[in-house]
Structure 1
Amino acid sequence: MCEEKYDEGEISDADIRVSRILHTLSEEYGSLQDSEIKKIFDMENVTVIATAEGDGAKVVGRQGEIVKKIADRIDNSIRVVEAAQDDMEVIKGLLSPAEVESINTVFAPEGQSKKIVVSEEYEGKINLSIEEFEEIIDEITGTNYKLSFE
């Protein structure tokens, strides 16, 4: 079944690699045994782990110890976000330490989208490019968001 999902592109090499690491770590950290990973996004400067709502802290671990071990093994920074009912929680998790100044609805000939405005002082400080952020947020929330630093 996993091989079929892999062949169809539903899961990636990053999903498999990080899941194997988490499985190994679950022997040491029992909290990982009942945590759910929704998707892994392996980006240039950061790997984003999207968990089910309420499972983010389990993957991070006390004082970030689990996430540090994962980061060491995959040689990339880690950001953990919870797939939540409220898109704003996911947005904040991806953009931290930046703060969202506003979210506006934009109407264009190709359709409606939402524009997230963040202070330009945070540009380059979130470990994700605009394109990477937009790809991840769309996949997690199902909503077309555009990111703007102003």
Structure 2
Amino acid sequence: MAFVAAGWNRYLWMASVITGDRHHGEELLQECLVSLFTRWRKVAGKGDPHAYLRRMLVNGNVSRWRRWRREEPVAETPDRQDGRYAPVEPHDALQRAVLRLPRQQRAVIVLRYFEDLSEKDAAAAMGCSIGALKSTHSRALAKLRAESALLETRG
């Protein structure tokens, strides 16, 4: 499918940042693409499949987070034998700060700045009103600014 080939790296990066982990991002993206494939005719015929996939990634991350909260912790985490999946390794202070934001705030920052969506499109992707998006965006920026102020005083 040309849609997947053309956007794989972009959506994998987006999913990895939203989830905070490359492995989880890849799983989320694959789940969303399978679901999108089953609805492809309807989605492609009605509107923008890219917007639909972004919405699926945001909603899918929320659903996965809710499922994980119900899981029971184990004494030891199993090691991956193949070593294919490495966690997202932030290369600068801003990316590390974005990864520390709560999931909703992180999603807003990714959609608005990394995906360059308008407020209207980002709100649609998150399934919320523009006002809710703006307040979440404001809180996220305040946390990022506070963190950058802390970094400057240390530097």
What TM-score, normalized by structure 2, do the two folds share? 0.28
Q: Which has the higher helix share?
A: 2
Q: Which has the higher contact order (CA 8 A, sep 6+)?
A: 2
What TM-score, normalized by structure 1, do the two folds share? 0.28
Q: Return the index of the structure with the highest Cα Rg.
A: 2
